[in-house]
Amino acid sequence: MATSHTGRAEHLITVNGEQRRVTLRPADTLLYILRDELGLTGAKPGCENGDCGACTVLVDGVPMKSCLLLAIEFATPEEPAAGAVPRHIETVESLDETEVQRQFLDHWAFQCGYCTSGFLMLAEGLRRQRPGASPGEVVDWLRSNICRCTSYAEIIQAVRGTLERERSAPPPV
Amino acid sequence: MIPIDFSYWRPTSAEEAVALYQRLAADRQEPAYCAGGTEIVTRARLGQLAPGAVIDLKAIPEMCRVACEGGRWHFGAAVPLAQLVDDEPWPLLARIAERVADHTSRAHITLGGNLAGAIQYREAALPFWLADAEITVAGPHGRHTAPFAQRFGGALSLDPGELVLDLSIPESATRFPSYAQKATRLDYVDYPLVTVAAVQSPGGHLRVAWSGLLPEPFRSDALDAALSAAGTPAARVARALGELPSTLVEDLHGTADYRRFVCEQILSDAIADLEGT
């Protein structure tokens, strides 16, 4: 049975581990709702065309460009069906003294910083999904984001450092 | 920000999606099917597209599956390109898909969207042209399965309200020796100057499909025949180039002459790769 949404209305979406109530139109992008309705301004508007990656967030652990997503896709009913798992959005605000942040600081992997939150979320997604990524895979993932200050060499070092720490970390007990 | 309003619908079966489309179209709401949504979101933001209703196809299970059944691999039209690359059920499709856009965008872009979209390169079509593929379409008159080439001649031929459910190929086609190459002019992540997919069929015949050379993807039996005929690789490439259309695309990415030069190099590489010469 199809679900449908018309006009501006209240919905629940799950962001950074919390259910948040937002008012949105079906045509609102996730980027717009995160920033203007929820005050999560870490995801940056850049090209708003899917090219620059400054708006990258994690959706169920996968890096995605929030300028290309409709926020309505993440709306969950007030009383979800049994067993239904809401899709989980993570923004840069969910990172708190993580290894990827430390590596970006240690390697000075930013200049103006506008693109940094997008790169951090991309790198965090890579750490979780592909901790054993080859140098070629790292470059392939990083091609998704643009840094106009051209800190690319430092960003690559920071991401490689993150993965090396991940691989050398003792397994969870 | 998208400056227009539309309603959003999420059907759970293809028949429900088609019925919705018909009803919304009858109400003059200008519905649009949507899977990855990259073109709808970006073009609506720019005012190039103004659907009154968006029908999201991602909750239709059969459109989201990749499976081998009855000797054929099936690829749902709402499967993201990233999944086709990561799971690699068909190496040639994975090699072509991994050069479409960038890694993150491939988690958005779907197989059906790449084929049906307005962006003319439609590189995901190239492998299917070379593999005796079939395409299943749902529409107001039910479901129809046809040879891929009957529905795709550079762009998909779909009647209003029709949607692509899945594409399938014989299991054996995934094992044909294959070659893929994408040449770009400005950056690694870019639209193609030339993208080529090639296979060597069991009889040794070479088949090639192209994107970037003409305003839409193309393939040519005459070019394949010239490439597969007896002779030295250089002579075969020269004859094949003679079968290219006389007017190639001239744009920011390159002149027609430059594209022809790149084609010559790529065809030489393809023969060497596939025939071990």
Residues B67 and B168 in one domain: yes
Domain range for residue B208? Answer: 177-272
Query: With a CB-CB cutoff of 8 Å, which residues 70-109 of chain B face chain A?
Result: 98, 101-105, 107-108
Residues B115 and B76 in one domain: yes
CATH number of the structural domain spanning residue B39: 3.30.43.10
Q: DSSP per residue over B136-202, as a string?
A: EEEETTEEEEEEHHHHBSSSB---TT-EEEEEEEEGGGGGS-EEEEEE-SS-SSS--SEEEEEEE-T
Residue of A74, A115, A144 to mutate, interface with B, max B Cβ within 10 Å: A144
Query: Which residue, among B108, B184, B127, has the nearest Cα to A49 in the 3D structure?
Result: B108
Q: Say how many domains are in chain B.
A: 3
Q: DSSP string spanning B106-121?
A: GGT-BHHHHHHSSSTT
**Position B249 in a domain:** yes
- Chain B residues in contact with A48 (beta carbon < 8 A): 1, 42, 45
| Beta carbon pairs, A and B, within 8 Å | 93
Answer whether A64 sits within 8 Å of B5, measured CB to CB: no
Closest of B215, B181, B212, B221 to residue B198, by C-alpha: B181
Residues B154 and B98 in one domain: yes
Residue B1 lies in a domain: no
Q: Is residue B220 part of a domain?
A: yes
Q: What is the ipTM of this complex?
A: 0.94
Domain shared by B45 and B125, yes or no: no
Residue B95: give its domain's CATH number: 3.30.465.10
Q: Are residues B40 and B72 in the same domain?
A: no
| Residue B166 shares a structural domain with residue B194 | no
**What is the phi/psi pair of residue A5, to 5°?**
-140, 130
pLDDT by residue for chain B (277 residues), tens digit each? 899 999 999 999 999 999 999 999 999 999 999 999 999 999 999 999 999 999 999 999 999 999 999 999 999 999 999 999 999 999 999 999 999 999 999 999 999 999 999 999 999 999 999 998 999 999 999 999 999 999 999 999 999 999 999 999 999 999 999 999 999 998 999 999 999 999 999 889 999 999 999 999 999 999 999 999 999 999 999 999 999 998 999 999 999 999 999 999 999 999 999 998 6
Q: Is residue B134 part of a domain?
A: yes
Does residue B149 sit within a domain? yes
For residues B111 and B125, membership in a common domain is answered with yes
Residues of A in contact with B20 (CB under 8 A): 2
Chain A residue numbers with beta carbons less than 8 Å from the beta carbon of B10 are 2-4
Q: Distance between CA atoms of B277 and B270, rounded to whole angstroms?
A: 10
B2 domain residue, yes or no: no
CATH number at residue B210: 3.30.390.50
Q: Specify the pTM.
A: 0.95
What are the structural domains, with CATH classification, of chain A? 9-92 (3.10.20.30), 95-168 (1.10.150.120)
